[in-house]
Structure formats: C-alpha cells, structure tokens
C-alpha cells in the first residue's frame, strides 16, 4: 500500500477577489513539484466564486472535466451549443476532446458559488467533444457509497473517456464500510467534503485528501456525519 496525504491547509491558494481557489495539485500560479497529479487525476480545485462572476470564454482539449457544485449554481455555455445551469446536487462532465470553448459563471447575483472542478487525463485523443449533466438525487443512497461516474455510457451517473469511477457517500456517525477498487492497476483518491473520517488508519477532516495505491480495497470509518468523494482512477 502506498499513501499520500494532502491536508486541507497545505493546498495551494489564490485570491483573485471574485475567485478564491484552493488547489490540491499544481495549477495556474501554484506549482509544487510533489503535487503535479495523482495517477490520471490532474486537477482538483475547490473554488468559491462571487455572485455574478466567473470564467469567460476559454478553450480546453483532450481532458475530461468534471464539475460538482457543492453550494449554489453555475451557468455553463459552450461552443457545442450547450447552455445550462448546474445546481448543487448535480454533476456535470465535459469531454473536451478535439477542442471546445466554454464559459462558467455564478448563476446567482446574490449568493456565492462553491464547486469542485476536476480534470482527468483522457485515454482517447481528439474525440468529438461531449457534454452531459445529471442530478445526483436519484442516485444518492444514505449510508452507501453510490456511483456518480464511470467509463460506461450505460452505467450509473455520467461517463468519461477513462477507466475511472467516481462514488460519493453521505455517511452517518459510526458508519463503517469498505470500497473495493474497480479495476486492476487503479488507485483511489478520496476527498473529504464534510465531516471526519478514518481511512486506512489515517484521520482526515473536511477538505483533506488521501491518495492510496497498490491496494484492492480501502476501509472507511465515519467519526461524524460526513460526506466524501472517491475517485477510482488509473495510476498510469
């Protein structure tokens, strides 16, 4: 078993006034040679965006981009013709593929927006760009780890061009369970969204992250009511 722990307070931080961003991995002006990526997980940003503000039209290519609003709503528009609002309790995926332009703004003029934006290296280059979003409310199961993303278009949740699975959990105090790695050669990166957990013997609190590889399953204990995101991803 190989572990890497990223405590919440050690993340990179940028304050642009309208945007307060915390970076688990090197991003923009934050560079840490020990935090470039974990397997195919390239970016895990925890952003707070001021009312009405956001990212103007900009390009991406050959990256799987997943957005999880934690509170508030994000307004999305892209060069594929999609225009939508993604609310807390939903998940959005954009396969940038051969190239796409998009913009993202806080849909509210009065409330802050908090979101995770996650970038995953794709396993297929220059595919046709694709967009999808889905509510998590029909997937969510209290005190279970429920799948929200997979490599299978027919699977539960959204899908991406990578041998990756994301699961989430809303766990009660004293819950104990196990997550089994979906594919040989994959590892897991777990982000504690809220609460306090013990994962493979490591005590973690809100916004701490842990990457674990060379293991078939991980043991999880929830010490308080907690919410987690598990990213099961190729390490190479």
CB 101 within 8 A of CB 78: yes
Note every long-range contact of 12-19, with CB atoms under 8 Å and residues 24 or more positions apart, other chains counting. Answer: 17/50, 18/49, 18/50, 18/53, 19/47, 19/48, 19/49, 19/50, 19/53
* Confidence at residue 86, expressed as pLDDT on a 0 to 100 scale: 97
Query: Cα(219)–Cα(24) distance, rounded to whole angstroms?
Result: 23
Q: What is the CATH number of domain 11-135?
A: 2.60.120.10
Q: Rounded to an integer, what distance in angstroms lies between the CA atom of residue 79 and that of residue 61?
A: 12
Q: What is the pLDDT of residue 230?
A: 98
Cα separation of 29 and 99, whole Å? Answer: 23
Encode the chain (236 residues) as per-residue pLDDT tens digits: 999 999 999 999 999 999 999 999 999 999 999 999 999 999 999 999 999 999 999 999 999 999 999 999 999 999 999 999 999 999 999 999 999 999 999 999 999 999 999 999 999 999 999 999 999 999 999 999 999 999 999 999 999 999 999 999 999 999 999 999 999 999 999 999 999 999 999 999 999 999 999 999 999 999 999 999 999 999 98
CA gap 176, 180 in Å, rounded: 14
62 torsion bin: left (phi>0), alpha (psi -120 to 50), beta (else):
left
| Separation of alpha carbons 185 and 235, rounded Å | 6
* Per-residue pLDDT, 45: 98
CA distance 13 to 21: 6
* Segments of the chain assigned to CATH 2.60.120.10: 11-135, 145-234
Structure confidence at residue 236 (pLDDT) = 87
- CATH code for residues 145-234: 2.60.120.10
On the CB side of 130, CA atoms within 13 Å amount to 14
Tell me, letter by letter, the H, E, C secondary structure of 144-206: CEEEEEECCCCCCCEECCCCCEEEEEEECCCCEEEEECCCCCEEEEEEEEECEEEECCEEEEC
- Cross-strand pairs, 106: 74
Nearest-5° angle of CA 23, CA 26, CA 32?
A: 115
Q: Return the pLDDT at 143.
A: 97
Write the CB contacts of 37 (distance below 8 Å, at least 6 apart in sequence): 25, 121
């Amino acid at each position: 078993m190989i572990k890497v722990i990223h405590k919440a307070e050690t993340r990179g931080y940028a304050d642009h006034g309208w945007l307060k961003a915390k970076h688990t991995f090197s991003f923009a002006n934050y560079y840490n040679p020990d935090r470039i990526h974990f397997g195919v997980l390239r970016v895990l940003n925890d952003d707070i965006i001021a009312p009405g503000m956001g990212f103007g039209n900009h390009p991406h290519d050959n990256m799987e981009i997943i957005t999880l609003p934690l509170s508030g709503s994000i307004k999305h528009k892209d060069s594929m013709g999609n225009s939508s609002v993604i609310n807390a309790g939903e998940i959005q995926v954009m396969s940038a593929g051969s190239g796409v332009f998009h913009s993202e703004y806080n849909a509210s003029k009065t409330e802050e927006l908090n979101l995770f934006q996650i970038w995953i290296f794709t396993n297929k280059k220059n595919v046709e760009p694709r967009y999808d979003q889905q509510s998590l409310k029909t997937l969510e199961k209290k005190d279970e780890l429920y799948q929200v993303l997979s490599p299978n278009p027919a699977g539960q949740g959204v899908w991406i061009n990578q041998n990756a699975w994301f699961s989430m959990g809303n766990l009660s105090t004293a819950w104990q369970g196990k997550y089994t790695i979906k594919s040989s050669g994959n590892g897991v990166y777990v982000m504690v969204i809220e609460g306090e957990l013990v994962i493979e013997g490591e005590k973690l609190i809100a916004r701490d992250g842990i990457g674990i590889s060379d293991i078939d399953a991980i043991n999880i204990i929830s010490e308080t009511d907690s919410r987690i995101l598990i990213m099961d991803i190729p390490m190479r």
